[in-house]
Each structure stands twice: as C-alpha cells, then as structure tokens.
Amino acid sequence: MTVRVTDFALIIGHVWRCTSCRDALLRNPTLMWVGYKLSEDQRTCIINLGDEDFHTVMHLAEVTGLTVKEIDDAIDHPRARLRHLGSVKGDVRPGVTW
C-alpha cells in the first residue's frame, strides 16, 4: 500500500531524485509548483532552497521541516517517481520531452 504524502513532500521527493526538475524548480519555482497545494511557508521554503541543500536527506529535512521518513516516503512514492514537475496528464506541448 502506498503511503499518503503531502504535495510539498512529493515535490521535495521528486527533485531529490530528478536533477533536471530540481534545476527547473530552483530556477523558476513559481512555474514548477503549479498544480500543487502548498502553504505560504512551503512556497517560501522552496524559493529559499539551493543546490547545496540537496547534499544529504538529513540536511534537506532540516531546511524543509520535513522528517527524513517523510522525504524517504516521498522519494519512493509512485507519483514522485513517475511524474515530472510542470507536467500534466496528457501534456503534449511542443518541445516538451520527459
């Protein structure tokens, strides 16, 4: 059974694994978080993230306020593994390849 995770954790879990989405999120977070339910605090956290925050899961947990277990659950969640940020089901935009 899949563990239920928050949208914030899904974003963090996905970008832990997918460096192209991480780069896009760090470059333009407001575009990449469209469609996710995030609080103002979570949005502020994402805006303040840098590449250096992704060196260890423990450090990422510290800066996001998530637990290591929440991040691990999100990393392994099917939605985090199978869907890139900024994509939607049936996305057929020209030049977009995932």
In the chain, the number of structural domains is: 1
Assigned domain for 46 exists: yes
Among 3, 17, 39, 1, smallest CA distance to 85 is for: 17
Domain extent for 41:
7-82
Assigned domain for 94 exists: no
User: What's the predicted TM-score (pTM) here?
Assistant: 0.81
Assigned domain for 58 exists: yes
How large a percentage of the chain has pLDDT more than 90? Answer: 57
Q: Is the pLDDT of residue 74 over 50?
A: yes
Q: Residue 9: what pLDDT?
A: 94
Higher-confidence residue of 52 and 35: namely: 52
**pLDDT confidence band for 82 (50 / 70 / 90):** low
CA angle 69, 87, 89 (to 5 degrees): 100
Q: Residue 54: what pLDDT?
A: 95
